[in-house]
Each structure stands twice: as structure tokens, then as C-alpha cells.
Structure 1
Amino acid sequence: MTPAPVPNRLLSLYQSSIGKKIITGISGLALVTFVIVHMVGNLLLLGSADSYNQYGHHLEQLGPLLGLIEATLLGFVGLHILLGVQIFLGSLRARPQGYNTYVSAGEPSLQTVSSRTMIFTGLGLGCFLVWHLLTFKFGIRYTVPGSDIRDLARLVVEKFQQPLYAFGYTGVMVILASHLRHGIWSALQSLGALDARVRPGVYGLSLVLALGIALGFVALPLGIYWGLVE
């Protein structure tokens, strides 16, 4: 029997519920990788404004390549959100009445507040991304005196000296931690990377990683707000 063409196989994968979860897992892990890199870049400002600005300048110097990377990331975000909504609507159609009370089912479902609110935390993070880009990427362009290097450190410090930005950003990081807590584990589970022996350990590790990422992001705005970073 002649195998189906690759485009048809990909379409069939996308249309199946299992395929949606696999693609969601792949896109989610790609975004987690970006989030970690972004967090490490942010932490440079804890060292010095010059290091942070130089980092941003090197990224800008990538030119069209940076645009391609950003477009790819936005594609992953859009695909991840689209599939998340489709999976959520599919689960509603399969069980329209739901349950009045939720409790953890234990293995293998490990149902938690994080898992039950994925669609809401995901959509919230999507809205935050728009606000974040408008504030920082497309915000005021200060330059370092005597050069054409963008003084992004100045903009970041100015924003996070304001309570709305500092504590609003911190609140969003709590949402991010909740989303990542279930998302990391679930992605690996969907990709078949976990067996019964390692599943509990990876489940706990996903919580540790989610909290570590959130705390890494929170360190900057709170440090700036409390005057520890200038």
C-alpha cells in the first residue's frame, strides 16, 4: 500500500486529538526554552546596565535573522494557543456537564488546579505578551549617551519603579509558574518521554523548574522597585 504523502500525514496528525497534544507539547517545550533564555538575559541587568544593553545590542545586530527568530517564536505562540483552545473545546464537547467538585485523581492524571486552568492561564499569558511587547520592544527608545546603542536598561528601570508594572509583572509570573507546572510535565507525557518509573520525579521536577523560572523573572522587577537595582 502506497504511504500517504507527507502533507496529508501532517494534516491527519493535526486533526487528531493525540496529534494536537503532541504538537502542543513540541511547541510548548520550544517556548519554555525561549523563556529560560529570556530569563537569563533579563538577569544580566542585575549585574550592570551596560551588560544588559550590550546583550540587547548584539541581538539587534542580528538584523533579518532576529526578525526570522521572532516570527518563528510568534508562530509557535499562535499555534500553541490555537491548539490549546481546540483541545479545551474538544474536552467540553466530550464532557459538557463537567463535575461540581474536582479532586486529584492521582496517577496517571495527576489533576491539579494548574491542569484545570491551563486554558485560562495560557490566554492570560498571551494577553500579557502583547502588553510586554508594546511596553518594551516597541516602547520608548532611549540611547546610551555618545552611541546608537539602545538604553533598554533605562526603560526597564523606569517601568519597574512603578507599582503597577512591578507587581503586575510579578502577578503574571505566578500565572506563568502555574502554567509551566503542568505544561512541562504534560508535554513530556504527550511525547511519550515518561514511563512509570520516572514520571513522579519529572512531575516534581517540573514544579521546581516552573518556580525557578518564575522567581528568576520576578527578581528583576522587585529588585528595581525596592531600589536594589538602579
Structure 2
Amino acid sequence: MTIINERQTNWLNFYNSSLGKKIITGVTGLGLTLFVLFHMIANLVLLSDREAYNQLAHWLNSLSFLLYGVELILLTAVVFHIVVGISIHLKAKRSRPESYNQLESAGIPSKQSLSSRSMTITGITIIGFLVWHLLSFKFGTYYSTTIDGVAMRDLGKLVIEKFHNPVYAFGYLGFITFLGVHLRHGIWSAWQSLGVLNGRTSSLIYGVSLILAVVITLGFIALPLTIYFGVIG
């Protein structure tokens, strides 16, 4: 019992420390970025082959408890990333009560940007989008199809149906743009929080973060635009 209490105390001390909060946001942020990248690649399968897309979705669902475990890990990461991120934001705001309109350079070259200054706003927007996205697809209409004698969900049909709706297609595009802006600073900031950057690697990772954010954004918006304008579907 004593060992358990000591571990709980150590965890709470780590969680409540500034270093601990930075590490938590860094690890969860990078983990969620990897998931977003995988999700984007999976979406692009639909651009070339609807049956392959449905088979991929069916295979993922067939993982059963393993999939539930991954989803639980993702949910935990999202919750910690949100809670700790808000905590860091509120602490920074309390320690700097003057108006944020008076911005100063963060160094040469400065890493301060629209992306870095809007992390809270884009983060909250992404939370709302995530709920909307899950309700629309994961818990959306279940269409059935059969491929090679195997009955499965026709998720491709649902995606195409949704993106033929201009409200959803262009609303999705807008939300993904917010995601890209969030990732643009978030990826670099995550590595910085983990303390692995130095003067030489900082600018390199900063540039890579921009490229990765742009690639992810373009990869996601390619699907709704090609469907809406009749390229596929």
C-alpha cells in the first residue's frame, strides 16, 4: 500500500509540475499527430479504390478488443492533451496579465506566429469538430455492402454522401484548416517541450513542422473537394 501511495504521490507531483505538464502535452501531441497522419493516409485510399477503403475499415473493426484498446488510448491522450493544455494556457495568462496585443519577439528567428498565438482557439475548434466528425461517420448511417462474399459496412458510400453536401464538404475544409494551423506550431512545440531541441535542430524541426502540417491539411481536404466536384463518387 505504501508503494502504491508513493507512486500516486510521484505521479501527482510530476503532473502538477511545469516540466511534467510540458512532457505530457508533448507526448500526447506527437501521438495524436501520428494518428492524424495515419487517418489522412487511410482517407486517401478512397480516392483510388472504394472497395479497398471499405475493406480497410472492415479490417480495423475486426480487430475488436485491440481496436477498443487503441481508441481508449487515443481518448485518454485527447483528454490529457486538452486538460493539461488549458492548464498551461491559464497559468501563462495569470503570469502575464498585460494585454497580449503587446507582443514581443520570442527570439531570433522568432517562433512566434499566428499559429502559436491561436493554439487555444484552434484547439477548442478541433474538439467541436471531433465530436461532429464522430457523430457523422463512426456513429453515422450504416450502409451495407458485400465484397468477395464478405458482408461489411459501406463506409465509402457514407463518406461520399456526406461530402456531396456543400455544408459538410466546405465545413470540413474549414475545420481541417484550423487543424493545420494547430499542427503548424504544435509539432515543433511538442519536441521543444520534450527538451530535445537545440539551436541547430530547432529551426530544422520548425521547418519540418510546417511541411508536415501543410501535407496533412492538403491530404485531408483532397477527399471532400474531389467528391464534391465529382472527380470521384
Partner of 1:148: 151
Q: For residues 197-224 of structure 1, what are the alpha-carbon distances to aligned partners after superposition, in whole Å with 9 as ceiling and x for unaligned?
A: 1111110110010010010001100010
Indicate how the Cα distance of structure 1 residues 99 and 61 shifts in structure 2: closer, same or farther if over 3 A, else same. closer
Partner of 2:163: 160
RMSD over aligned CA atoms reads 1.7
Partner of 1:178: 181
Q: Offset at 1:136? A: 0.1
Corresponding pairs, count: 228
Q: How does 1:130-145 map to 2 (within 5 A)?
A: 130-145=131-146
Partner of 2:41: 40
Partner of 1:68: 69
Tell me, yes or no, if structure 1 residue 216 matches structure 2 residue 228: no
Could you tell me whether the CA contact under 8 Å between 1:180 and 1:210 is conserved in 2?
yes
User: 2 CA distance for matches of 1:108 and 1:16?
Assistant: 29
Could you tell me whether the CA contact under 8 Å between 1:44 and 1:52 is conserved in 2?
yes
Partner of 1:125: 126
Gaps of at least 5 residues in structure 1 are: none
User: 2 CA distance for matches of 1:32 and 1:5?
Assistant: 33
Tell me, yes or no, if structure 1 residue 193 matches structure 2 residue 196: yes
SS at 1:148's partner residue? Answer: strand
Structure 1 stretch displaced more, 144-153 or 89-98: 144-153
Amino acid in structure 1 at the alignment position of 2:209: S
User: 1 CA distance for matches of 2:156 and 2:104?
Assistant: 45
Gaps of at least 5 residues in structure 2 are: none
Partner of 2:58: 57
User: 1 CA distance for matches of 2:176 and 2:27?
Assistant: 22
Q: Offset at 1:147? A: 4.8
Q: Offset at 1:31? A: 0.2
Amino acid in structure 2 at the alignment position of 1:192: G
TM-score (ref. length: structure 2) = 0.93
Task: Using the aligned pairs only, state the percent identity.
Answer: 51
User: 1 CA distance for matches of 2:99 and 2:7?
Assistant: 38
TM-score (ref. length: structure 1) = 0.94
